[in-house]
Amino acid sequence: MTEVIALGQPTVGDAELAAIAEVLRSGWLAGAGPTCARFEKRFAETAGVSHALATSNCGSALHLAMLTLGVKPGDELIVGDYTFPATGHAVMYAGATPVFADVRPDIWTVDPAAVEAAITPRTVGIVAVDVAGQCADYDDLRAIADRHGLFIIEDAACSAGATYRGRPAGSLADVATFSFHGRKGITAGEGGAYVTDRADLAAHARKLHTYGIEGALTREASRELPIPSFDELGYNYRMSDVAAGMMLAQLDRLPDLLAARRHVAARYAELLKDFDLVTLPATASDRDHTWQAYILTLDPSVNRGEVALRLRERGVQCNFGTYASHVQPLYNSTRPCPVSTDVFARHLAIPMHANLTDAQVETVATAVRDVVSAVAANR
**pLDDT bracket for residue 316 (50, 70, 90):** very high
Residue 323: pLDDT band with limits 50, 70, 90? very high
Average pLDDT, rounded, for the chain: 97
Residues 161-182 have a mean pLDDT of 98
CA–CA distance, 77 with 66 (Å, rounded to integer): 10
Q: What is the mean pLDDT of residues 104-130?
A: 98
- Percentage, residues of the chain above pLDDT 90: 95
Has residue 320 got a pLDDT over 90? yes
What is this structure's pTM? Answer: 0.96
Q: Which domains does the chain have, with CATH numbers?
A: 14-251 (3.40.640.10), 254-377 (3.90.1150.10)
- What is the arithmetic mean of pLDDT over 281-298? 98
Residue 221 is predicted with a pLDDT of 67
Residue range 360-366: mean pLDDT, rounded: 98
More confident residue, 228 or 362: 362
**90-110: b (≥16 Cβ within 10 Å) or e:** bbbbbebbbbbbbbbeebbbb
